[in-house]
Amino acid sequence: MKQITSVVLGLMLSLSLFSQSFTPTTRPVKSPKLVVGIVVDQMRYDYLRRYWNKYQEGGFKRMVKGGLNCENAHYNYVPTFTGPGHASVYSGTTPAYHGIIANDWYSREEKKEVYCAEDLSVSAVGGNVLSGAFSPKRLMASNISDELKIAYPERSKVIGIAIKDRGAILPAGHNPNGAYWFDGKSSGNWMTSTYYMKELPQWVKDFNAKGKAQKYLEKPWETLLPISEYTESTPDETAYERLFRTETKPVFPHDLPAISAVTGVGLLAATPLGNTLTCEFAKAAIEGEQLGKDEFPDLLAVSFSSTDYVGHQFGTHAIETEDTYLRLDHDLADFLSYLDKQVGEKEYLVFLTADHGGAYNTTFMKDNRIPTGNYRSDSLQNRLSRFLKPTYGDSIIITVANDQVYFNHDKIRSYSLDPEVVVRKAIDFLMTQEGVIGAMKASDIVNHDFSEQANQKIKNGFLPGRSGDLSIKWAPGWLEYGSTGTTHGSFFNYDTHVPMLWYGWKTPIGTLTEYRRITDIAPTLSFILNIPLPNAATGQPIPELLKN
């Protein structure tokens, strides 16, 4: 009996010591006080090199020279759009798992096209009613923001900021302290939705009261440097650029007061001043929320959206595009200097990347003798419908979107058709269309792993139930866009190759040329912050960033 009692007492003592030694500490393991994630919308990697000699020392150059430059970073899925890009950066996985397969897609369940941040159960707070029915409810996976909030509940703070609602909402995750976006429809204020709060915090109200958006539009958009110095760009007037409303030529100076009198304050988003406003609001968030002020790490997700609007309108080689990046460089330098003073030079960590790249304008490519072409999904849908109608009667296609064909399953069943035969016939037709170099049916995408990189990117971006019945592969240089400006969305390098810069807290200095996936960012942050990986993360931590 004494032996049994002795054993029991020994076990109890051991369990007690075990419990004490594994009691979670209320203080985190040493980590940066503030992580700032910066996503530059539509930033190709080569913009770092092309404008390098025009950048000042305190912005992009400071991050490249004083941090780690992963210069061969790519997206590993398609389509390369804003919504999927932001979700992938912060979740560490691809659309096949986080569910944001595009900016918009057809929902079979709701029988309509839906938007990636749409949530009709919530409403606007602090802005136009049409700009407020948004939340992260369509994001299926957790992200680094969620895991940080779970690791240090009521201690760590998470804030998302962007001109675009999806650029703020998807990075901030499911349970942030706030996500704020720009009301370009009426007020020019920063706003949110009832998903997050019933009323704007006082610091947001105070910032909005300054009316900065309207003030920025009181002067024309002039070039930062003498226009003759923009030697990295095409001439000011070319056939590659789209006009602002009221303009007769796409040239400097752009009369913002006159244009905004017609378009409203939303014009700001399509100028580099939208990035400046975002930077100023990010500073206000740091002060208003007291980010980076204690030992518990906070996260600020900032997306600079105006670069995307400018790129879409003027293309990749316009003086407007170059001027936007030179001005963003100034904003970045100012912001880093602010972080030095507000948080402490060695106390914060910044990563900078993009949500996708951008293609050359098709007219520009033709002038440079590069094969190219334009297409329209609605035109392709009409041609495919006409081809199938003699065989199947009424149209059995719901839509063609995001380079995918959605068939009407109810009609196919009512006609007693074999779905595989229907899809195969559609693929045979699509392969006759100019610019199409391949097409894959959903069952093949889901059931195979591919050694061919393009096919694997299609698989990584494909989610049964949300995606279509077949996926179309276009030739390089083919764009679903007009003859002016540009777009993105493909699996080619011009859309997947983006910057990945790391700067600040214990970041090694150097350059990596090894292939890195954008989905590696969130797992790397998990290790740095000593918190769990996002629940669907498929990326891998970058070893060089963990050595210190």
CA distances, 503 to each of 92, 154, 346, 519 (Å): 19, 27, 10, 18
Position 303 pLDDT exceeds 90 = yes
The arithmetic mean of pLDDT across residues 361-384, rounded, is 96
Interval 320-349: pLDDT, tens: 999 999 999 999 999 999 999 999 999 999
Look at the block and give the residue holding tokens 């997050």: 196
Beta partners for 190?
182
Read off the tokens for 214: 């309207």
**What's the confidence (pLDDT) of residue 4?**
41
Q: Smallest Cα–Cα separation from 135: which of 187, 86, 170, 186? A: 170
**What's the confidence (pLDDT) of residue 26?**
58
Interval 468-487: pLDDT, tens: 999 999 999 999 999 999 99
Q: Is 120 exposed, middle or buried (CB count within 10 Å of its CB: 0-12, 13-18, 19+)?
A: exposed
Instruction: Give the model's confidence band at 1: pLDDT under 50 very low, under 70 low, under 90 confident, else very high.
Output: very low
Position 92 pLDDT exceeds 80 = yes
**What's the confidence (pLDDT) of residue 27?**
61
d(CA 188, CA 164): 13
- Residue 285 sits at φ, ψ, to 5 deg, of -65, -40
The arithmetic mean of pLDDT across residues 67-87, rounded, is 98
The distance of Cα 232 from the centroid of its chain, to the nearest Å, equals 26
For residue 483, the number of C-alpha atoms closer than 13 Å in the C-beta half-sphere is: 5
Question: Using N-to-C axis directions, what is the helix angle for 306-314 and 319-339, rounded to 10°?
Answer: 170
Interval 391-429: pLDDT, tens: 887 789 999 999 999 999 999 998 899 999 999 999 999
Strands 34-40 and 348-354, by their bridges, are parallel
Strands 436-441 and 470-474, by their bridges, are antiparallel
Contacts of 210 (CB under 8 A, 6+ apart): none
Read off the tokens for 487: 């777009």
Q: Is 255 exposed, middle or buried (CB count within 10 Å of its CB: 0-12, 13-18, 19+)?
A: middle
Residues with catalytic annotation? 82
pTM: 0.94
On whether the CB atoms of residues 36 and 302 are closer than 8 A, the answer is yes
**What's the confidence (pLDDT) of residue 449?**
83
Q: Is 468 exposed, middle or buried (CB count within 10 Å of its CB: 0-12, 13-18, 19+)?
A: buried
The arithmetic mean of pLDDT across residues 31-52, rounded, is 98
- What percent of the chain has a predicted confidence (pLDDT) above 70? 95
For residue 249, the number of C-alpha atoms closer than 13 Å in the C-beta half-sphere is: 7
Strands 470-474 and 190-193, by their bridges, are unpaired
**What's the confidence (pLDDT) of residue 395?**
82
The three-state secondary structure class of 193 is: strand
DSSP class of residue 292?
T
Distance linking the first and last C-alpha atoms of the chain: 54
Interval 249-302: pLDDT, tens: 999 999 999 999 999 999 999 999 999 999 999 999 999 999 999 999 999 999
In this predicted structure, which of 10-24, 162-176, 195-209, 249-263 has the lowest mean pLDDT? 10-24
- What residue ranges do the domains of the chain occupy? 211-275, 373-479
Read off the tokens for 417: 């058709």
Q: Smallest Cα–Cα separation from 400: which of 433, 372, 358? A: 433
Considering the segment(s) 373-479 as one domain, its CATH architecture is 2-Layer Sandwich (3.30)
Interval 97-150: pLDDT, tens: 999 999 999 999 999 999 999 999 999 999 999 999 999 999 999 999 999 999
**What's the confidence (pLDDT) of residue 8?**
40
